Amino acid sequence: MLERPYRRVKGELEAGNARPSILQSMISKLPDESDPKRAEAEEMAKAVTGAAYGGGSDTTIAAVQAFFLAMAMHADVQHKAQAEIDAVVGQDRLPDFSDRAKLPYVNAIVKETLRWHSITPLGIPHMSTEDDEYDGYFIPKGTLIIGNVWALMHDPNAFVDPSKYDPERYLNLKDANGRLDNTVRSPGAAVFGFGRRICPGRHLVDASLYVAASNVLAVYNIKPPTDKEGNVVKLKEEATGGLLSFMVPFKCVIEPRSSVALALIQGI
């Protein structure tokens, strides 16, 4: 199955014609076709890329959808993020990872988006492998344990007005630079599951959301749609149930922020 891409990628890399993507690097590192270890390595490569695709695609889409809805519902949040991006990055290029530490408000948006919309509201069930006790409760071996991710991320003891989308809850407003407040319960405490089987893609999705949020906000305004009479349609947070939760499909308007932004988009 990997023969053709393997030969093509290896050829292109050897000829110096390509900058390797992660997938290309993996394929090019497979042992040679005549090597007895090849079959096992190929199986592993298929399993790893398959698991990353299976675990990472719908979940990342759900997070990006929630980001767009939050932005369309909260122009004030969007404008604060854009002001931060303009001040740190300027308007003549797109933000990249080297800017990340200087964009606390955008980082707070990443955290708040993952907190606000629980993509896996009840996580993935675990099972106790031996008898255990927690907080006075006896948990026999073989018990199915479901972590209520939604409740942990909407806990009124941890978050003021937990249903509200408010990135500022993650900022230390006493710090003049509004740095991230790491004492606030992070989405990482529950959203990616628990223990040994915690989501291995959590760092990737954190990076993906930062790139999506910073780049989209640098060049676009996201607004609620208008109806036939030109009235603004009020958007609301409504999510589907199930193992994986998505925002119920919604419409929004996405337009370039300025002619400079348009030129930047067209130049990409």
Residue number with CB closer to ligand HEM (48 or 232)? 48
R_g of the chain, CA atoms, integer Å: 22
79: which 2 tokens? 């404008």
134: which 2 tokens? 């927690």
Rounded to whole angstroms, how far apart are CA atoms 226 and 262?
A: 22
Give least dist CB 191 to ligand HEM, A: 5
Rounded to whole angstroms, how far apart are CA atoms 77 and 106?
A: 10
* Chain residue whose CB lies nearest ligand HEM: 201
Query: At residue 84, what is the residue type?
Result: E
In the complex, the residues that contact ligand HEM under the rule CB under 6 A are: 51-52, 55-56, 59-60, 63, 119-120, 123-124, 191-194, 197-201, 204-205
Give least dist CB 33 to ligand HEM, A: 28
| Phi, psi at 19, each rounded to 5° | -95, 125
Residue number with CB closer to ligand HEM (30 or 190)? 190
Residue number with CB closer to ligand HEM (6 or 192)? 192
199 is in an annotated binding site: yes
Give least dist CB 82 to ligand HEM, A: 24
Bridge partner residues of 255 (DSSP) = 221
Give least dist CB 87 to ligand HEM, A: 28
Bridge partner residues of 232 (DSSP) = 226
What residues are designated binding site? 199
What residues are designated binding site for heme? 199
